[in-house]
Structure 1
C-alpha cells in the first residue's frame, strides 16, 4: 500500500500487505488513485538532511492499467513535513506523522478545498519507538514495523482514549518474530509495500510477493513476480494487480514504470512519467476501475471560454522585401557592463577552412570601431571572396561571422571580446535571402570582454573523468532536459562554483578598468583545430497529452542555430552562435507518438574545438579557445537521429491553467495543428560536448516543424504557445 519513508535510517521503506480483502458488491471502485512523493533533493548534502521536506500530491488516472491508458499527474498541492519526522500513508488519504513531539494523524482534504495535510488526531506517547524503527509502513489499518533487532510488530489505533482526548496505538499480537526467515528477507529488502492482501519486496531488481495463510500468521515462501528491474530503487501499488517502480533520481529525472498482473508482472507502460524525485507513498484501494475516457483534470477547472480553434498552421511568412545592405552588428562592453568604446572590431568569416587540418587564417570581411555606447555594425562587401560565398551558399544562405575586439587594461592585463552572429546572403537564383538565412540573421548580442590568455598558452584539456563532474555532464545525464538557463560560466573539468568570476587577475578586479585597443597595424587571427567530437543535439520537441499524437519533422537539411562557446582557460561561456543550414541526408524526426507523450529530438552534429591566436601588427597578442558546431555527421554505427529528453512535465492541466489565456487555442477532434514558420525556443543543454553544455534553436519551415494531431474522443484538445499565441510566434506549443 503506501510507501514508507525512513528518513532517519535512510532506508527506502514501503508498505506491506494487510489481510486479503474483497470488494463488496456495493463498493465503488475508483478509477483514479492518489500518489504522494516526499521530495528529496538529489545529491543530498548534510544541510539538506536538516531541512523540512515537501510532500507533493500526484493523481494516477489509470491505476488499474498501470499507466497504460492515462497519465500520472503532478498537482499543485504540497505540504511541509518536519525533517525530524517520519510519515506513513494509509488508506483513504490518511497519514501518520511520527515526530519528536509524538504521533499525529492527518488527512488529504484537497478534494474539499482544504490542505494536503489537515490535522485529525493527536496520539498519546505510550513508549513505542517510532523514530528508531528500521522500517515502518502501512497495511490497511495497521502500521507495520521492523526494529533494529529484526523484530516484526504491527500496531493499530486502539479504542482507548486518554483523559486528555488523545488516542493510543495498540499492538496487534501473533506476528512472526525475528527468527522467521521471511521477516529477515523483508528486512533486508531494498523496499517493501502491500496491496490486495500480499506483501511485495524489491531487492536487486527482483520483486517478490509474500502472502500469509491468515493475517498475523507466518509468511509463506515468496513468489518471484518480476526480475531484471536493475535500475528500480522503489516500488508501490495503488491496488491489487498493479505495481509501479521508480528509478533513482540523482538528477531530478526518476523514471516511473508500470506493471500489471498477479503471480507474474508484465509491462504495462515502460515510461509512465519521468521527473519523479523522492520517496513514494501510495493510497491503496481495495479495488480499481478502468481508466476514464475523459481528460484528466485536477483542481478547479480553468476558464477556457472563448478560446479559438487552432488553424491548421500559422499564416505563411510574408514575401521578403527588396534586398537591403547586409549588415552585422553587436555591442561590446567592459567586464562591469559599461560600454567598450573606441575598440577596433575585426570581422571574419567563421566557417571557411573548417574542413582543413592544421592552422588557417579565417577570411577577414572588414573592420570597424565601436561607438561611444559600445555598439558596432558593418555592411559586408557586395563581392565576397569566392570561398566565403561558396560556404554561405552551402549553408542555406547564412554566413556565420565572428567579431573580435582586443586590447590591454590600464594595469596591463590583455582582454578579448568575442561575438558570433549571422549575415543573410542573397540567393543568386532569386536575388533575395533565403527564409532560413533571413530568420537566422539580424540578432544583436551584447558581449562583455574577458581576460585573455598569453599567446604561447598551451591549454590543458580535461580528462574524461574531469568532464564527468561538470555541469554539462549533469545536463547530459538528465532524462528530463535542462530545467533552467545555463550558468554564465561553466568549467570543463569540474563543477564550477556559482560565484566564479574571471575578472580577478593577480588579486585585482580588472572588470572596470579601461581597455586600450592595440594600434600597431593590421589585426588577424590564426585558428588551429585541436579536436573534433560528435554530439547529439536537440533540434526539435513535440507534445501530445490526452488523446493526441506528436510529430517532429527535421527533414532534408540542417536548420539550427547552436551556441559558440569561448574560453581563455578552463572556463567557458556562450557567446553568440552559428547557424547550420547544410544538407543532412535522411534525418526524419518522429511521427504520431502518443498519447501522453512529449520528447525532444536530437541529431548528431560534429563539433570542433579550436585554439585561436590574435595578432596585431604581426605580433601575437593573446590566445583563446572556441567550440564551434559544424556539419551533420552520423557516427559509425550510430543513429541518424534519436529521441531526447522526456518533457511531459511541461504539459497537462495545471500547466494549461497557469498559461496566459491569449496563448491558448484548441485542436478539434481528428484535425491537426503545426508550427512551420518562425524560430523555435532555445533549448538549454541542447548538446554536451568537450565538458561544456550548449544551447540551440531551430528555424521552422516546410521541412522542420512541430505538429499535433488530435484523436476522436469526445472533448477538445487544448494547446498553448510558450512565448505567444499559437498562430503568432510561440516558439513551441504544449498540450493538454
Structure 2
C-alpha cells in the first residue's frame, strides 16, 4: 500500500456524522430526526457512498472492496458553499457482488446467491450495511445486466439483449418475515430506441426524482416522463463539453456532480447546478475521490448553513491560546559550528562502517552549464568505531567554492563519500549530502540562510555500486509512467507520508526489494575493505537535465478563513538527493538551494475550504559518478541532484500544487495534539515567517523518482491565515510538528 493511500486513510478515518445545532453541524450519530409531528423538513446535507477499489490500470481486484460514506454539506449549491467530507463509516463488499443505492440510505446487494437489502444504520450507532431483507427471486439474472441503477424503490436495468426492465420489491403474502420478492414495476414508461441506445452506450447512468440521466463523451442528458404514466420519456441535453467526466450523480434540486476518474486518486469532484442547462458551481468540490459513486436523495434540499461543518460531538476548545501575527514562532537557534559537517556511515545491516576514509566534495554546480560543471575536493576524514565522522571546512576555500556558496545564499552543499569492496569482491559506496555555512567574504559571518540549513546529521548505509565501466541504461517514458513517482505525480491530493525506502525508475517499486542481494548472496553484513591507499576523488559525467515543478509551500483555510502563501524573490528550499548503484534509487541527504532570481509570488486570500500546495520550477540533473583511488577507477553510481530555480520556456514562475484539504477540518483537529492548538481572532491573521517547514513527501517526481523537500521561512517565504469576521465559532489552527508559537513546520485549519 502506498504512502499516499496510508495518509489518505489516516486523515479520513475520524469523520463522524451530522446533526444541526445552533449554527453548526454536530452530534455523535447522524442527522437528528425531525419531530414526529412535524412535516418533513428540507435537508442541507445529503449522503454520498463510494465503492472504493484498489487503484490500478483496470486489473481485476480479487479482494473485498470498501464502501465508504461521505457527507455533502451543500447538495443544493453543488458544493459551492461547503465541503464534501469522508466519514469513518465503511463496509466491505465482495468483488463478486454488485451494489446499488436506493432512497434514504437503502442498498441492494446482488451476488450469486441472490439479492439482499441493507440500510445505513449509522444514525443510531449501527453499521453502514445493516441487513433488512432477503429476496426470493427465480429467473432474474441480476449479475448479467449491462446497466443497473435505482430511483427510489424502483430498480432499473438493461439486459444483454438491450431490453429495458424495471422492478419493485414486494413482501408478498406467504413469505416468511424478513423475506421479500420483486415484481415488474407497473405502468412502466418504456424508452424509445434512441434513448435505449444512449443508455446502453453511456459511461454512467443514474436516476433522481423520476428522472434518468446518462453521461457519455462529456454530454449529460436528462430523460423525464413527457406525459401520462406509460407515455415515454422526453430528452434534454443539460451539459456538454465535460471532457474529463466519467461518472455522475444528482442529490436533487437541479444539482449534478461528476468525477474525473473512478480508477485512482486523481479523481476530482465537480459540482453543477441549473434548472435547464447546467452551470459550474464548484470545479473542485473535493479531490482524491475514486470508485463507484452511489448517491442518496433527500426528500428536498435546503441551502448550506452558515455554521462550521462540524461532525461528531462539540470540539474541545478549552485552553486554546490566541494566535496573532505578533506570536510568530521564535527563530531557531543558530547551529554551533556552521563550518562543520558530520554524519554516520553504516554497513547495509546497520552496523558501523568503522575506519573508512570519507571524501568531502562540493555538490553545487560551479558553472552555469551543468554539462560542464565540476566538483571541488574539500578534504578527507575517517569514520570512528561507531561509524561517525565530522569535518571542519578549511579556513581558506578555493575561490570557486566561495563563489558557489555566495551564489547559493551562503549555504555550501557538501557530499560525503566512502567506498570499498566486500569480502566477496562486491563494490560498495556510501553517499551522504549535507550543508555547511562558510563565512560570507564581506561580513565574515555565516548568512542567516546558511546558518539555518546547516548542521544536520544523517545516518547513511552503504549500498552496492556498479563496475566503473558500467553504462547505465535510462528508463523510457513508458517505463517512468509505471513508477511510484508517476503515481504521486498523477494524484490530485498531496501525500503526507514518506516515499518507499527504494524506488524503481522503470517499474512499480517492489516493497520486498533487498538491494543487497548480489549474485544470489546477501552482502549487507559483509566486511568492507578500503581500496588501496592513494588520493581519492570522483569524476562526474552529466547525463541529462529536466525542469520539474516542486512543492515548496502549503496553505490552509477551513471555515471562514483565507490562506496566503508567499514564495517571493528567491529559493529557500532543501530537496532530497537520490542515489543509485545501478538498480533502484533511494534518498540520501539533501541539497539546500537559494537564489536571487526567482519571481514566483504564491497565492493570496484563497478560501474558505481551501488548502493547496505551491510549486516552483527547479532544474534537476542526473549524473554518473566514477570513484577513483590512486588514479584507478574503482566503482560507479548515479545521482539526481536539484540544481537551481529555472522557469521553462513559456512556463509558469510558480503554480498551484496538490489539494491537501484532507489535513483540515473537524476530524484532523480532533486527532491533533492539544498543545499544538490555538485560535485566530476574527478579522486578524497569523503567519509563519521563521523556522523550517515540515518536509513534504513526494514534493517532486523527476526522472521516475519521487523526492521530498522542505522550505526555510523568512520575510520572503511565509504561510499566512486570515480569519473572517464570523464570531459564532473560533477560527482554530494547529501546528503539524509543534505549537504554533514554537516550531510548527506547517499549520492546519478548522
The TM-score, its normalising length taken from structure 2, stands at 0.91
Question: Which residues of 2 match residues 265-280 of structure 1 at below 5 A?
Answer: 265-280=278-293
Aligned to 1:67: 79
Q: CA deviation at 1:272?
A: 0.4
Is residue 53 of structure 2 the alignment partner of residue 40 of structure 1? yes
Aligned to 2:135: 123
Whether the 8 Å CA contact 1:408–1:515 is kept in 2: the answer is: yes
Q: CA deviation at 1:147?
A: 1.6
From 709, 720, 728, give the equivalent of 2:734. Answer: 720
Whether the 8 Å CA contact 1:493–1:570 is kept in 2: the answer is: no
C-alpha distance 514-141 of structure 1, shift in aligned 2 (>3 A) = same
RMSD: 2.1
Q: CA deviation at 1:178?
A: 7.7
Is residue 624 of structure 2 the alignment partner of residue 614 of structure 1? no
Whether the 8 Å CA contact 1:195–1:240 is kept in 2: the answer is: no
* Greater mean deviation of Cα atoms: 465-474 or 542-551: 465-474
- Please give the secondary structure, in 1, of the residue aligned with 2:381: strand
Aligned to 1:454: 467
Whether the 8 Å CA contact 2:365–2:373 is kept in 1: the answer is: no
C-alpha distance 110-429 of structure 1, shift in aligned 2 (>3 A) = farther
C-alpha distance 430-249 of structure 1, shift in aligned 2 (>3 A) = farther
* Greater mean deviation of Cα atoms: 623-632 or 236-245: 623-632
From 700, 710, 718, give the equivalent of 2:713. Answer: 700
- Please give the secondary structure, in 1, of the residue aligned with 2:451: helix
> How many angstroms apart in 1 are the aligned matches of 2:476 and 2:148?
45
Q: CA deviation at 1:44?
A: 6.3
From 74, 92, 115, give the equivalent of 1:80. Answer: 92
C-alpha distance 106-299 of structure 1, shift in aligned 2 (>3 A) = farther
Q: CA deviation at 1:553?
A: 0.6
Aligned to 2:354: 341
- Please give the secondary structure, in 1, of the residue aligned with 2:140: coil
Is residue 176 of structure 2 the alignment partner of residue 164 of structure 1? yes
Aligned to 2:700: 687
Whether the 8 Å CA contact 1:359–1:527 is kept in 2: the answer is: no
Q: CA deviation at 1:356?
A: 4.5
- Please give the secondary structure, in 1, of the residue aligned with 2:172: strand
From 82, 91, 98, give the equivalent of 2:103. Answer: 91
C-alpha distance 123-85 of structure 1, shift in aligned 2 (>3 A) = same
Whether the 8 Å CA contact 1:73–1:652 is kept in 2: the answer is: no
Whether the 8 Å CA contact 1:41–1:277 is kept in 2: the answer is: no
Q: CA deviation at 1:253?
A: 2.3
1:381-408 CA distance string (max 9 Å, x none): 1222221112112211111000000111
C-alpha distance 299-413 of structure 1, shift in aligned 2 (>3 A) = same
C-alpha distance 103-251 of structure 1, shift in aligned 2 (>3 A) = closer
C-alpha distance 256-415 of structure 1, shift in aligned 2 (>3 A) = same
C-alpha distance 466-86 of structure 1, shift in aligned 2 (>3 A) = closer
Whether the 8 Å CA contact 2:365–2:374 is kept in 1: the answer is: no
Question: Which residues of 2 match residues 69-468 of structure 1 at below 5 A?
Answer: 69-165=81-177, 166-176=179-189, 180-214=193-227, 216-312=229-325, 314-315=327-328, 317-318=330-331, 324=337, 326-356=339-369, 361-468=374-481
1:138-158 CA distance string (max 9 Å, x none): 112211122222222222222
> How many angstroms apart in 2 are the aligned matches of 1:325 and 1:661?
35
Q: CA deviation at 1:320?
A: 5.7
From 524, 536, 539, give the equivalent of 1:526. Answer: 539
- Please give the secondary structure, in 2, of the residue aligned with 1:605: strand
> How many angstroms apart in 2 are the aligned matches of 1:62 and 1:285?
12
- Please give the secondary structure, in 2, of the residue aligned with 1:184: helix
* Greater mean deviation of Cα atoms: 595-604 or 110-119: 110-119
C-alpha distance 318-252 of structure 1, shift in aligned 2 (>3 A) = closer
C-alpha distance 266-725 of structure 1, shift in aligned 2 (>3 A) = same
C-alpha distance 640-336 of structure 1, shift in aligned 2 (>3 A) = same
Q: CA deviation at 1:657?
A: 1.5
Aligned to 1:51: 63
* Greater mean deviation of Cα atoms: 151-160 or 271-280: 151-160
Q: CA deviation at 1:586?
A: 1.7
Q: CA deviation at 1:315?
A: 4.1
Is residue 507 of structure 2 the alignment partner of residue 494 of structure 1? yes
> How many angstroms apart in 2 are the aligned matches of 1:115 and 1:215?
41
- Please give the secondary structure, in 2, of the residue aligned with 1:295: coil
- Please give the secondary structure, in 2, of the residue aligned with 1:474: helix
Is residue 601 of structure 2 the alignment partner of residue 588 of structure 1? yes
Q: CA deviation at 1:160?
A: 2.1
- Please give the secondary structure, in 1, of the residue aligned with 2:389: strand
C-alpha distance 463-355 of structure 1, shift in aligned 2 (>3 A) = same
> How many angstroms apart in 1 are the aligned matches of 2:208 and 2:299?
8
> How many angstroms apart in 1 are the aligned matches of 2:56 and 2:568?
40
- Please give the secondary structure, in 2, of the residue aligned with 1:211: strand
Q: CA deviation at 1:364?
A: 1.4
Is residue 507 of structure 2 the alignment partner of residue 485 of structure 1? no
C-alpha distance 215-735 of structure 1, shift in aligned 2 (>3 A) = farther
1:144-194 CA distance string (max 9 Å, x none): 122222222222222524342122222213325587432232222111112
Aligned to 2:34: none
